């Protein structure tokens, strides 16, 4: 497969150096980015030369006119160049493939990695299995490649993906401050970072991490501040200014189709499906991008249930032991008759409709820090009714998370007991909430037969609220800010809890996976 890809690029370059046959063609349809020399051109140079075909803007610049695209693709955190490049070709988070930044220190090897030193050629830095091992000078050959494919009549036979690793934003600040409650950075132990970052489980990631607001950067001294008059990257991968490009064009992609944003860890599985090869293990959710393809080749399925409710019916209601006493039941009031007390669910259990509200009191079942209850209660008493009113009702599922090794995956009971100090009292590391509503807000969640909307949170369970500078803020605005900061995908909740949501829905599993992997972005403030 790799040899075929290399051969295609070489042939594209060879044929691309030759001018196309001169024909009286006045349209860019089917000719986008070709370097042809006729009455009008359809490559980007035509804008500078002033000889573009009349439909160049419509046919070639507007992506919805050609292939499948998304308004923005979410890079992984940190939104740096090399971590995202390697994520695209492996489908792994930086914590999984090891390229956690453009500059890395490995404490086990006592070695440093950067794009400027020879260590970048050492294969020990690169974990995971990339789908393409080397990409060089891509920007300079795209035009020649397209022209060559056109001349060989292959432009309608190959699938082409154009994407970027991240987007830079301008006007980076010249100063930092941390002397007031409105400081523009926060220091985190890495295990308290949002779970959506997936930026913990690698020894190359340092213990202390600084999170910065948009348009801010942190340096030890002024001389180390970079790009003050240009672009900058590395910020929260949910910022709109950090979103990347994705356009898919070719016989495998749908035509004139816009899709919701997705994360670039999903690209690897997409490429493997287009190439007809089996993907290696990765952090993507295979099948979540089936809606981009004309004819998906992989059909996902819901995971099978691994555990079932236990039933222990009471077979005998009287004791077989002779306890030396007896009494005549005749004439006794009914309250004194023997009562059957079953402590496990019976097979014909009829659930009380009011029992669903008992989930609101799970703080009585698992330990919860007093200061955390302030956040938890405000969410349920104030924020949840607001969401319910805005969405015409929401389905709420919440509970504890035990992630003692901070790897973002479900901890088995055996692992929890091994890693906790007191196995008798298991204190959750996080709490999760999943809110589900109907995309058509004229219907309630119980009535909804169409697409769903989901909003999820995974909030660190901490003994204080210092993360939010809560003492200096009024009206509990800090609660909504923190909940928003710790939003997550439904898929992240599943990975941490071992649960599987929405198995009773009638929609195709690929549509459900699209919902589970969706994470809303927010504008830069």
Secondary structure class of 154 (helix, strand, coil): coil
Distances (CA, A) of 79 to 86, 241, 288: 12, 10, 22
**Contact between residue 498 and residue 242 where contact means Cβ atoms under 8 Å apart:** no
Distances (CA, A) of 163 to 7, 67, 72, 262: 21, 13, 10, 12
Residue 401, token pair as written in the block:
């998370």
**DSSP state for residue 205 in the 8-state scheme:** S
Distances (CA, A) of 496 to 278, 411, 489: 26, 7, 11
Burial grade of 95 (CB within 10 A; 0-12, 13-18, 19 or more): buried
Secondary structure class of 495 (helix, strand, coil): helix
**Contact between residue 227 and residue 128 where contact means Cβ atoms under 8 Å apart:** no
**Contact between residue 66 and residue 256 where contact means Cβ atoms under 8 Å apart:** yes
Q: Strand order of the sheet with strand 68-69? A: 160-163, 246-249, 68-69, 257-258
Task: Give the largest CA-CA distance in the chain.
Answer: 112
Task: Give bridge partners of residue 55 from the DSSP assignment.
Answer: none
Residue that has been written with the tokens 């079942």 in this structure? 365
Rounded CA-CA distance 488/456 in Å is 5
Task: Give bridge partners of residue 398 from the DSSP assignment.
Answer: 433
Residue 313, token pair as written in the block:
């019916």
Residue 121, token pair as written in the block:
């050629």
Residue that has been written with the tokens 């000078």 in this structure? 137
Note every long-range contact of 133-141, with CB atoms under 8 Å and residues 24 or more positions apart, other chains counting. Answer: 133/2, 135/85, 135/89, 141/9, 141/12, 141/13, 141/16
SS3 content of the chain, % helix, strand, coil (to 5): 30, 15, 55
Q: Where are the alpha helices (DSSP H) in 185-334?
A: 267-275
81 is catalytic: yes
Task: Considering the candidates 27, 36, 70, 81, report the single residue annotated as catalytic.
Answer: 81
**Contact between residue 81 and residue 166 where contact means Cβ atoms under 8 Å apart:** yes
Residue 138: phi, psi to the nearest 5? Answer: -65, -40
Nearest to 160 by CA among 57, 247, 279, 264: 247
Residue 109: phi, psi to the nearest 5? Answer: -100, -5
Distances (CA, A) of 429 to 61, 128, 133, 374, 418: 48, 28, 38, 17, 15
**Contact between residue 479 and residue 375 where contact means Cβ atoms under 8 Å apart:** yes
- Number of residues written out for the chain: 525
Active site residues: 81
């Amino acid at each position: 497969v790799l040899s075929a890809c290399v051969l295609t690029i070489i042939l594209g370059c060879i044929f691309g150096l030759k001018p196309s046959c001169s024909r009286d063609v006045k349209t860019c349809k089917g000719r986008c980015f070709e370097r042809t020399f006729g009455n009008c051109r359809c490559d980007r140079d035509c804008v500078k030369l002033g000889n573009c075909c009349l439909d160049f803007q419509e046919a070639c610049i507007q992506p919805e006119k050609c292939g499948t695209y998304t308004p923005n693709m979410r890079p992984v955190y940190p939104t740096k160049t090399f971590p995202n490049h390697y994520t695209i070709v492996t489908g792994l988070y930086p914590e999984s493939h090891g390229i956690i930044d453009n500059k890395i220190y490995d404490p086990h090897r006592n070695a440093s990695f950067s794009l400027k030193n020879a260590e970048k050629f050492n294969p020990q830095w690169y974990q995971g299995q990339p789908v393409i091992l080397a990409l060089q000078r891509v920007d300079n050959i795209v035009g020649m490649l397209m022209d060559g494919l056109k001349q060989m009549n292959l432009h309608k036979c190959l699938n082409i993906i154009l994407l970027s690793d991240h987007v830079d934003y301008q006007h980076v600040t010249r100063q930092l401050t941390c002397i007031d409650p409105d400081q523009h950075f926060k220091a985190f132990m890495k295990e308290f970072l949002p779970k959506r970052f997936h930026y913990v489980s690698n020894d190359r990631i340092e213990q202390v991490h600084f999170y910065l607001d948009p348009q801010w950067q942190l340096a030890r001294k002024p001389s180390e501040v970079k790009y003050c008059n240009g672009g900058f990257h590395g910020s929260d991968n949910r910022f709109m200014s950090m979103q990347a490009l994705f356009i898919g064009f070719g016989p495998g992609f749908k035509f004139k189709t816009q899709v919701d944003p997705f994360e670039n860890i999903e690209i690897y599985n997409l490429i493997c499906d287009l190439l007809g090869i089996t993907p290696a293990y990765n952090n993507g959710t295979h099948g979540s991008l089936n809606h981009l393809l004309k004819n998906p080749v992989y059909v996902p399925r819901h995971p099978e249930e691994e555990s079932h409710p236990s039933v222990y019916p009471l077979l005998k209601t009287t004791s077989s032991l002779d306890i030396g006493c007896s009494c005549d039941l005749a004439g006794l009031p009914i309250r004194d008759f023997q009562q059957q007390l079953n402590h496990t669910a019976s097979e014909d259990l009829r659930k009380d409709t009011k029992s669903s509200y008992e989930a609101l009191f799970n703080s009585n079942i698992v330990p919860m820090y007093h200061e955390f209850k302030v956040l938890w209660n405000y969410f349920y008493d104030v924020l949840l009714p607001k969401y319910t009113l805005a969405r015409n009702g929401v389905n709420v599922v919440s509970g504890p998370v035990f992630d003692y090794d901070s790897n973002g995956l479900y901890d088995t009971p055996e692992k929890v007991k091994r890693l906790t100090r007191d196995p008798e009292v298991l204190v959750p590391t996080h709490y999760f909430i999943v809110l589900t509503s109907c995309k058509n807000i004229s219907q309630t969640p119980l009535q909804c037969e169409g697409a769903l909307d989901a909003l999820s949170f995974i909030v660190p369970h901490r003994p204080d609220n210092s993360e939010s500078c809560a003492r200096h803020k009024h009206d509990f605005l800090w609660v909504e800010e923190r909940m928003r900061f710790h939003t997550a995908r439904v898929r992240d909740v599943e990975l941490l809890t071992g649960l599987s949501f929405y198995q009773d829905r009638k929609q195709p599993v690929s549509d459900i996976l699209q919902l589970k992997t969706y994470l809303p972005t927010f504008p830069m403030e």
